[in-house]
A and B are shown apart, each in its own frame.
Chain A
Amino acid sequence: MSTNNQNVVIVGGGAAGISAAAQLAELGIKSRIIDEATKLGGVVYRGPLRHTEELPHLDEFYQKSQKSLQDKYHNNKDKIDVQLETSVVGPDGTDGLIISDQQKLENVKYDYLILSTGCHERSIPFPGWTLPGIMMMGGVQLQIKSGLVRPGEKMALCGTGPLLPLIACQLHKGGVEVEGVYEASSFSKLAKEAVALLNKPMLTLNGLSMMSYLKRNNVPFHYGWGIVKAEGKEAVESVTVAPYDKEWKADLSKARKANVDSIGIGYGFVARTQITQLLNLEHEYSYQSSYVPKLDEFHRASKDNVYVAGDTSGILGSDGAAFEGQIAAFDIALRMGVIDASTHSSRVNKARKGLQRVKNFRFGFDRFSERQLGMLDLPDDDTVICRCENIKKSQIDAAFERGVKDITSLKMATRAGLGDCQGKVCSAYCYDRFKQAGHQEKMGQLRARFPIEPITFAMMED
């Protein structure tokens, strides 16, 4: 069967997207990757954007993984068409997308679509969170790995999970004075997950070596501590941290303040579901990843020819993303008649086994880093919740007091979510408020709207 006439479009050229494209290419199927960045690799593996002789601050492990992913692309280049610096702004009918390169709009049609748009970080509001110099940890990483610059000279890191020690090491090696690393969960909680971590011994060893690096370099690492507030006039000047109990409630009586010029915040991730929403795919609520599209075992979404792989389908990191990309690729290959059912079955099962090992490892960390709602107490009445529309916590509280039970009503009553970012930043907090109030079941989803990236009126000319 000729596959030349069937278009496979992949949105997002990170671990999942490249793996899918490479797998399709190995089976002789061409595909097209559309990515908003200037290089392939996604947030994690994009690598340096400018020329550099060396990368002293990025460990071998990372550099190997990055090269391996880049090689996947390079070895299959002839079958992978890449369009960079291009964003999807919305669907075009039932089998197309509208894309933007910031100058003009274009249409792209697909027979099969793989959405591997990754995730973004979960924003946690606290007093002072909008001060310049406060970045979410992924953003910090992008500056270190891709920008090759220090986002600050003296930084505190507050968050949870394996990224904390990793970024602390990268920052320290890059010349930043790391004032302290504050992991919200307790050490005893981590110890409980020791068995899960053994699913991926190399990663675990790498983690241990990071911890010992930090210790050797006198970078304080605190378990069971977290952010309380940030202060400063024009930009951040100090951070206040305190011990967190197991609900992540801060014990303010033991709070400590430190002078910093930069803070990295990392309390979890949210799947990027703007495109999946605009395609009207079915979604379900996930406490960990926020809403995720409903998928079958082959990562097919509620729309027949659309697949979702990688963090957009649920946060599993880049290892999981790679297997998921493969699974989607095999399924498309079966439907195109390029592989038969038994090949499909055996190869998908192999990928699933790999995926399961990743999950077993990740679930250890996921349990350890499971977000606790004590942090909802951090913002005070005047803390901005929706930065785009300048909506304060007191306004959100008033809407809840008035009996608002779903996110659309909250949006209408307060304007939270009606700003330029279309609620990507503040919706995570709002969903948690609904969960806390017991309305999780019926709270609904904050809908993305065309255009999901801002476009000018000029771009709408013919």
Chain B
Amino acid sequence: MNKNYDVVIAGGGAVGAACAYFLSREKDLKIALVDFKKPGNASRASAGGLWAIGESVGLGCGVIFFKTLSKQINEAKANGEEAPRMHPHQLPDFFFDFALSSNNMFPALHEELREKHNIDFKFQETGLKFVMYDEHDRAYADQIASGIPHLSDQVNWLDADQLREEEPYVSPEAIGAMNFTCDHQVSPFLLIDSYTEGARQNGVDLYLNTMVTGVETEGNRVVGVRTDKGTLSCNTMINAGGAWSSQICEWATGEKIPVYPVKGQIVLSEKLPKIMRGCISTSDCYIAQKDNGEVLIGSTTEEKGYDTTNTLAELKGLAQGASKCLPILKEMNIKRTWAGLRPGTRDEIPILGPMDGIEGYINANGHFRTGILCSAITGKLIDEIVRGKETTLDLKPFLYDPKRFEDLDPPFYG
């Protein structure tokens, strides 16, 4: 094989494919995208939610933890014991900016991919409602709202009647909802297909079903990416390896960046008529009805290495959570379940940009729960980095720095 490229992208999931697409738009660089779909790769497993505020404030996994903690606190108070410390889970402001910037790119991106490349990734403006059942949920919602005063125009509150009006199938037990009006959804695999096909039409060489097996360096510079089909020489490589990024980084730099697999299980219903207007998050799970009518429920947060088996206890938790929120689901079939491996980092912030001591290597990984959402801004930033332009957002907090991962509180999700 042995071809020469300006840029080789290792990994063709949401982030890698987005990088390929954004880099390819000017049609001036020789680019290769190398992809091998390993079992559990997050892009295919994803729900496809663009939940910029939701994920930034720790809905989903966060609220489940909070609910347990809140219960412990009340029990402790009742017993006259000392209450455990609360960890309000909100990501830093620069992450909000990152997520919201990406979110804002989607309408134009959707248009562009449709006009220029005739592909539709089913962008749907749904909003995301945090449905509340009790005072614990309301306390949590209040805490979230108080943490994002600058985004108050994106948040509205629905009382029980208003909720029922908008979402007639939501359980009568619900007392209301907090709605994030800018949080929407896409079809995750159509998104990746769109980026990939757009890139291909722009001249990017696709190496699909091709595994990256190593990186060639000369001194402290990357000169090529090894694959099971031969070596692709390049000036720059992008590590978009998802849950497998750590190994790729080690091949390139000798150092392992701390990106590790975080398993999430999903339950999917049979195709159903439209029973939800928007996406929903509760203290048990999130629920999204996709464009083809299937209702997707997720997720869990488990550190089980690269294991992607489904486990009944976890699936039951998700299914029960969904039935509680939408009782109509009780008689519906579960069509299938799966598990994906999110590329996790201890501080829950992605790792982007170059690394000290190595030339021709750029990180684009560690996107944890927001790979789909942040693929767009990542693609844009990586394009700017490769071309030496000033970046749209300050890269500093995203650069790899071992100090980021020191002295962290124990992982939020256990």
A interface residues with partner B (beta carbon < 8 Å) = 90-93, 98, 105, 107, 280, 402-403, 405-406, 408-409, 412-413, 415, 419-420, 422, 442, 449-451, 454-458, 460-462
Contacts and interface: CB of A to CB of B under 8 A. Distances in A.
Q: Which 7 A-B pairs have the closest CB atoms?
A: A460-B319, A449-B336, A454-B333, A458-B330, A457-B329, A457-B323, A450-B310
Contacts of B44: 412
A457 B193 contact: no
A406 B319 CA distance: 31
B203 to A, nearest CB: 15
Contacts of A442: 209
B309 A457 contact: no
Contact of A460 (B197, B309, B316, B331): B316
17 contacts: A403-B208, A412-B44, A420-B333, A420-B335, A442-B209, A449-B337, A449-B338, A450-B336, A451-B334, A451-B336, A451-B337, A456-B334, A457-B319, A457-B334, A458-B323, A460-B315, A460-B323
A430 to B, nearest CB: 16
Given A90-B310, A98-B312, A454-B270, A405 B336 contact: no
A197 to B, nearest CB: 43
Contacts of A462: 316, 320
A451 B334 CA distance: 7
B206 interface: yes
A158 B169 CA distance: 48
Contacts of B323: 457-458, 460-461
B25 interface: no
Contact of B269 (A93, A107, A457): A457
Given A403-B208, A412-B44, A457 B332 contact: yes
Contacts of B312: 90, 92, 98, 105, 107
A107 to B, nearest CB: 8
Interface of B: 37, 44, 189, 193, 197, 206, 208-209, 269-270, 292, 309-312, 315-316, 319-320, 322-323, 329-338
Contacts of B331: 456-458
A462 B316 CA distance: 8
Contacts of A419: 335
A408 B37 contact: yes
- Provide the main secondary structure of the chain B interface: mixed
A456 B311 CA distance: 17
A454 B334 contact: yes
A195 B362 CA distance: 67
Nearest to A421: B335
A449 B37 CA distance: 17
A91 B337 CA distance: 13
A20 B178 CA distance: 59
A420 B332 CA distance: 12
A178 B269 CA distance: 42
A455 B333 contact: yes
A292 B336 CA distance: 22
Among A409, A454, A456, A462, max chain B CB count under 10 A is at A456
A370 to B, nearest CB: 29
A454 B319 CA distance: 14
Contacts of B270: 420, 454
B28 to A, nearest CB: 24
A274 to B, nearest CB: 11
Contacts of A409: 37, 208-209
Nearest to B332: A457
A351 B234 CA distance: 61
B114 to A, nearest CB: 18
Nearest to A415: B292
B337 A403 contact: no
B336 to A, nearest CB: 4
Contacts of A90: 310, 312
A436 to B, nearest CB: 18
B193 A456 contact: no
A408 B193 CA distance: 13
Contacts of A413: 193
Contacts of A455: 333-334
Given A403-B206, A422-B336, A457-B269, A450 B315 contact: yes
B122 to A, nearest CB: 12
A458 B333 CA distance: 9
Contacts of A458: 323, 330-331
Contacts of A415: 292
Contact of B322 (A280, A402, A454, A457): A457
A91 B310 CA distance: 9
B211 to A, nearest CB: 11
A456 B328 CA distance: 11
B229 to A, nearest CB: 11
Contacts of B193: 412-413
A180 B208 CA distance: 48
B146 to A, nearest CB: 35
Nearest to B335: A420
Nearest to A412: B189
A83 B193 CA distance: 46
B91 to A, nearest CB: 30
